[in-house]
Amino acid sequence: MDLVNHKVKSKALGIGTVIEQDDSHVIVQFTAKKSTFQYPEAFRKFLTAEDDEIQQALLVEIAAADALIQETKIKMEETRKAAEQVKLKELAAKAKHKTTSKPVKRIARVEGQHLTFLVFQGGTFAKEYKGSYIWAPKFSQSGGTCHHWEKMLDVREGDIILHCSEGFVKAISVAKGPCFDCDSPDELTEEKLWAQNGRMIKCDYTKIENPIKHSDYKDTILKYCGVKYSPFDKDGNGNMGYLFDLNRELAKFFVEKTVINNSYLLDLECVQEVLK
């Protein structure tokens, strides 16, 4: 719309006249100064055409621009999802034909007893805690699987998870059910995780106000973590990975140390179960 020589109003600058215009800007001469505004964005909040018919026409133009932007966003998202599906199929095909080592040894379930797990969340802890979940991709960049991501498949309702981040045991949770297929939550995109397709487990978290530092107990850790795929290495440091089986005796030890300065945790059924 050609606005040159038309009057516009600004709450801050008063009435002015449009003296120049291009596809993305208008220049308005006010009594005190000359100002440049984005077009048509400025007519959302900052400017109003003095002529009501022109103002209404501008609002229609803005609405049309918004609709075009929204349509573009939808198409971009559809394109992204389509590309993701193609990538997922490629990764699944690679995984199907990829030779693997010996199967990961699973901890047998005991009737009436929930399994214990440990998850290393690093910088994602706060976001996953707030969202009441843990999430992991399905495939590595090479198209293979990772045992610490596949471990998500072993979790069942009622299983107990200790959450580690930055060297501390920061929370304890109870799984609300088994994992389910789920794209990466929006809040994790800032973590620049390469994969979108993955699995989620919803968890009932309880934050530990005074967390213990697991490296303070390396001697005890080494007593229980001498097996393959354990959460800690031969030096008692945390292994690279996400979710691990946690030896029940080590889980009990961690919880015993934790409740010393967090007595409120003793009210939790999951804590009482681990301490049995």
Express each pLDDT in 82-140 by its tens digit: 777 777 666 666 655 544 444 445 566 777 789 999 999 988 999 999 999 999 998 87
Q: What is the Cα–Cα distance from 178 to 199, expressed in whole angstroms?
A: 10
Tell me the average pLDDT of the chain. Answer: 88
Residue intervals in the chain for CATH 2.30.30.140: 1-97
Q: What is the Cα–Cα distance from 151 to 147, expressed in whole angstroms?
A: 6
Q: Are 163 and 119 contacting, i.e. CB atoms less than 8 angstroms apart? A: yes
Class in CATH terms, 1-97: mainly beta
Query: What are the CB-based long-range contacts (under 8 Å, 24+) for 265-271?
Result: 265/172, 265/206, 265/208, 268/172, 268/206, 270/114, 270/160, 270/172, 270/173, 270/174, 271/172
Q: What is the DSSP letter of 240?
A: S
Residue 59 CB burial class (10 angstroms; 0-12, 13-18, ≥19): middle
Q: Are 20 and 4 contacting, i.e. CB atoms less than 8 angstroms apart? A: yes
* 22 phi, psi to nearest 5 deg: -135, -165
Residue intervals in the chain for CATH 3.10.590.10: 116-275
Express each pLDDT in 258-276 by its tens digit: 999 999 999 999 999 999 8
Tokens representing 146 are: 């990772």
**Which residue, among 270, 80, 243, has the nearest Cα to 157 in the 3D structure?**
270
Q: Are 224 and 250 contacting, i.e. CB atoms less than 8 angstroms apart? A: yes
261 vs 195, more confident: 261
Share of the chain above pLDDT 70, in %: 89
Express each pLDDT in 42-55 by its tens digit: 898 889 999 989 98
Query: 116-275 in CATH: which number?
Result: 3.10.590.10
Which of 27-36, 208-217, 222-231 is predicted with the least confidence, judged by mean pLDDT? 222-231
Express each pLDDT in 230-240 by its tens digit: 999 999 999 98
